[in-house]
Amino acid sequence: MTNGQNYILAQGNEACVEGALAAGMKFFAGYPITPSTEIAELSAQRLPQLGGKFIQMEDEIASMAAIIGASLAGVKAMTATSGPGFSLMQENIGFAAMAEVPCVIVNVQRGGPSTGLPTSPSQGDVMQAKWGSHGDYPAIALTPNSVQESYELTIKAFNLAEKYRTPVVLLMDETVGHMREKLILREEREIEIINRKKPRVKPEEYIPYKADEDLVPPMASFGEGYRYHVTGLAHDETGFPTNNHKIAGQLTERLVRKVKLNIDDFSYYEEYRLEDAETVIVAYGGVSRSAMLAIDRMREQGRKVGMFRPITIWPVLEKELKALSGRAKEIYVAEMNLGQYYLEVDRIAGKRCPVKKINKVTGELITPDEIIDAIDGGK
């Protein structure tokens, strides 16, 4: 304790668990996988101390299913995994989106494809976090670049999941998951907690999938007297399957719109030395740390370089990226994949300024020198 604040030295993965507990996590289901395992281990230790529940399931498919079940029973639930496990979770992430069950999925990205590079960092799952499950569905993904931010964003991930009744992905990478930094654990009163909207009508009047004006329906928990039906099939407002094409279409559109329309509510980003920047580096997660160092060095040489760091990675920050293209002379997207977020930046900004890629898929963090060389090499 220093100055009334509670500091610890922690890993990104540990900070994620502390954030989850601060947000009210009462249930964790998971399956061991590097480099996310510390999240499961710490949850196994801490949850029962607080009266919560941990369970190690037989695989990631089951882990995802179990957190949906727990959430339907009324508790805030999370799972954590990495590349191969994230692939296995996709089926039930789609279910959570379709049945509107709040939950948080942490993916500490490692080198892919397939089992890839288990102990090495990557950002290869950016597109998977958006499009990984079949069909059109809403995706919210947040991506931290520090231990403190892993804590803060885990809290936000729970809040968004609860507010919009949808799965939220915390897209970490091995660099952030395993780095150790100072972590300030906030006081309870400092933390904003959002809980799912409950029905305010009697059970016999409850229409479980009838959305309010914010496009989100109030959610009853199993066991509270509201006996209703939940399905992954296209359903009407009562929650029962329908073959009515119009109703099915309206449902899919509402699911996507409830997130898209509210993007201003969770458009998180950071601007670094961007005021007069002519060259803009777009970087997120671990790579943004290298980008800031590269920018500091280039600034010493009088170069007008800055960084735009999306923290909300999905939905894409359309408005901010568009504005960026109006003031930058060139944009570099630096990421540990072969150009995934680049596709979005180029789509949004590419008409007004050149958008270039800085990529690395060796399982190593992109270094400041590599960013500087790439920019200089492009001259």
Partner 1 sequence: MDASQLIQKYYRLDKLPHIWCPGCGHGILLNSLVRAIDNLGLNKDEVVVVSGIGCSSRAPGYLDFNTLHTTHGRALAFATGIKHANPNLHVIVIMGDGDSFAIGGNHLIHACRRNIDITAIVFNNNIYGMTGGQYSPTTPYGDLAATAPYGNPDSPFDICQLAKGAGATYIARGTAYHARELDKLIERGIKNKGFSLIEGLSMCPTYYGRKNRKGSAVDMLKFFKDNCIDKRLVDNNPQLGEGKILIGELYKSTRPEYTESYKAIIDKLKE
Q: Which residues between 73 and 92 bind partner 1 (CB under 8 A)? A: 73-75, 77, 91-92
The DSSP output letter for 52 is -
Does residue 32 touch partner 1 according to CB under 8 A? no
Provide, rounded to whole angstroms, the least separation between the CB of residue 230 and partner 1: 5
Region binding partner 1 by CB under 8 A among candidate stretches 23-31, 111-119, 250-258, 342-350? 23-31
Selected binder of partner 1 within 23, 65, 88, 153 (CB under 8 A): 65
CA-wise closest residue to 218 among 165, 168, 281, 293: 165
The span from the CA of 332 to the CA of 283, in Å, is 8
Does residue 24 touch partner 1 according to CB under 8 A? no
The span from the CA of 155 to the CA of 188, in Å, is 12
Count other Cβ atoms within 10 Å, centred on residue 335: 28
Region binding partner 1 by CB under 8 A among candidate stretches 69-77, 109-117, 152-160, 177-185? 69-77
Does residue 356 touch partner 1 according to CB under 8 A? no
The span from the CA of 317 to the CA of 332, in Å, is 16
Provide, rounded to whole angstroms, the least separation between the CB of residue 172 and partner 1: 23
Region binding partner 1 by CB under 8 A among candidate stretches 25-33, 160-168, 182-190, 300-308? 25-33
Selected binder of partner 1 within 41, 53, 191, 318 (CB under 8 A): 53
Does residue 27 touch partner 1 according to CB under 8 A? yes
Region binding partner 1 by CB under 8 A among candidate stretches 55-63, 114-122, 155-163, 173-181? 55-63
The span from the CA of 320 to the CA of 313, in Å, is 12
Q: Choose between 222 and 269: whose C-beta lies nearer to partner 1.
A: 222
End-to-end CA distance of the chain: 50
Per-residue contact track with partner 1, 191 to 230, x per CB under 8 A? -------------------------------xxxx-xxxx
Does residue 61 touch partner 1 according to CB under 8 A? yes
Provide DSSP, 284-343.
-THHHHHHHHHHHHHHHTT--EEEEEESEEES--HHHHHHHHHH-SEEEEEESSSSSHHH
The span from the CA of 142 to the CA of 346, in Å, is 20
Does residue 68 touch partner 1 according to CB under 8 A? yes
The footprint of partner 1 on this chain (CB under 8 A) covers a number of residues equal to 42
Residues ≥6 apart with Cβ < 8 Å to 63: 29, 30, 31, 57, 79, 81, 85, 89
The span from the CA of 355 to the CA of 379, in Å, is 14
Does residue 248 touch partner 1 according to CB under 8 A? no
CA-wise closest residue to 165 among 203, 215, 201, 200: 215
- Residue ranges that bind partner 1, judged by CB under 8 A: 26-27, 29, 48-49, 51, 53, 55, 57-59, 61-63, 65-75, 77, 91-92, 95, 222-225, 227-233, 240-241
